[in-house]
């Protein structure tokens, strides 16, 4: 049984009907991640599946040859109650599942409450009690042990502010990049000469900020911008900051927010106006 998101798709006399899925316990489910989904999207999809279906066992198809070029268990250690079996080959994943299994394809990537209400991209506008309820499961997700030393070595010794800038070629195609001057303005409003830890996908962004911002800009030392392990290091370092500036619409910064035991005070740079280039979508 395949369905997308938190809705089952049925066909009656050729008419497609989506029916909401209610939280229900399953002994075993399968979860398929799209090859173009980033780490944030995949983890939120995983958490939604765990919350909704509380499975005893879960098979996941985690493509490690495209956008996320690393295996799940090379990036994370987990202590979920659910046993998670990772498959990096679709054929092996299909062999591990049966026609009677619940297979979830393209799980919703915005964090959802059990009643289906979205918590996605709301950050510290979420009710604190709601945050405390849903953040507990994120504490079962830890960086791989081999990454912890690198995370600790690169975490600023003094107070710092997390800064995540998602500008990259893949977003530019859809009109989703924001002018870097907007980030500098947001930084100056918080602290005119403070320390920011930057997570970006291009070294040119750090070069620009070091020219335009008076304070200190820190990044992961000798960062490999294509490395998913370095991306996870960024993720957990950002999660240590009590304040953060994140790019609008990016689930990477949002994931850092949820990995904390308490709420970050978050400033968002960007708006819905540049969220999608509809003309680009029509051409595809």
pLDDT of residue 272: 81
Portion of the chain with pLDDT greater than 90, in percent = 73
Name, in order, each residue with C-beta under 8 angstroms of 197's C-beta and a sequence gap of 6 or more: 155, 156, 160, 161, 162, 163, 218, 219, 237, 238, 241
Residue of 262 and 168 predicted with greater confidence: 262
pLDDT tens sequence across 54-111: 999 999 999 999 889 999 999 999 999 999 999 999 999 999 988 778 898 878 889 9
Question: Residue 16 pLDDT > 90, yes or no?
Answer: no
DSSP string, 75-97: HEEE--SSEEEEESSHHHHHHHS
From CA 182, how far away is CA 205, in angstroms rounded? Answer: 13
Q: How distant, in Å, are the alpha carbons of 21, 40, 67, 105, 256 from that of 34?
A: 21, 12, 9, 8, 21
Question: Residue 284 pLDDT > 50, yes or no?
Answer: no
Report the sign of the C-alpha dihedral through residues 141, 151, 157, 210, in that order. Answer: negative
From CA 249, how far away is CA 204, in angstroms rounded? Answer: 21
Bridging pattern class, strands 265-269 and 28-32: unpaired
- 273: confidence class by pLDDT, cuts 50, 70, 90: confident
- Per CATH, the number for 144-283 is 3.40.50.11350
pLDDT tens sequence across 167-191: 877 767 666 788 999 999 999 999 9
Mean pLDDT in the chain? 89
Phi, psi (rounded to 5 degrees) for 228: -70, -30
From CA 171, how far away is CA 23, in angstroms rounded? Answer: 34
Residue of 50 and 272 predicted with greater confidence: 50
- Beta strands (DSSP E) in the chain are 2-4, 7-12, 15-20, 28-32, 57-61, 76-78, 83-87, 102-105, 141-143, 161-165, 195-200, 216-218, 243-247, 265-269
Neighbours of 19 (CB within 10 A): 10
pLDDT tens sequence across 221-239: 999 999 999 999 999 999 9
Whether pTM > 0.85 for this model: the answer is: yes
pLDDT tens sequence across 120-167: 999 999 999 999 999 999 999 999 999 999 999 999 999 999 999 988
Closest of 123, 110, 135 to residue 247, by C-alpha? 123
Tokens of 140: 């079962």
């Amino acid at each position: 049984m395949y369905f997308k998101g938190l809705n089952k798709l049925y066909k009656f006399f050729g008419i497609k009907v989506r029916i909401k899925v209610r939280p229900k316990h399953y002994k075993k489910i399968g979860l398929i991640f799209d090859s173009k989904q980033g780490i944030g999207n995949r983890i939120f999809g995983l958490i939604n599946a765990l919350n909704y279906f509380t499975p005893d066992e879960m098979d996941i198809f985690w493509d490690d040859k495209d956008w996320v070029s690393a295996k799940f268990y090379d990036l994370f250690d987990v202590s979920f109650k659910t046993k998670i079996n990772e498959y990096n080959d679709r054929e092996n994943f299909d062999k591990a599942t049966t026609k009677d299994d619940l297979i979830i394809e393209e799980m919703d990537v915005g964090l959802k409450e059990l009643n289906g209400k979205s918590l996605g991209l709301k950050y510290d506008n979420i009710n604190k009690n709601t945050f405390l309820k849903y953040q507990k499961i994120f504490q079962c997700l830890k960086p791989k042990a081999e990454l912890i030393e690198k995370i600790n070595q690169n975490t600023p010794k003094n107070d710092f502010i997390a800064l995540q800038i998602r500008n990259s070629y893949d977003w530019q195609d859809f009109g989703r990049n924001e002018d870097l001057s907007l980030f500098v303005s947001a930084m100056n409003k918080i602290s005119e000469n403070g320390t920011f830890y930057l997570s970006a996908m291009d070294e040119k962004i750090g070069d620009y900020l070091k020219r335009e911002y008076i304070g200190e800009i820190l990044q992961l030392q000798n960062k490999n911008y294509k490395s998913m392990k370095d991306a996870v290091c960024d993720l957990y370092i950002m999660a240590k900051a009590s304040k953060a500036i994140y790019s609008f619409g990016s689930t990477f910064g949002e994931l850092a927010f949820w990995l904390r035991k308490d709420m970050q005070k978050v400033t968002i740079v960007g708006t819905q106006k540049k969220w999608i280039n509809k003309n680009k979508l029509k051409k595809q």
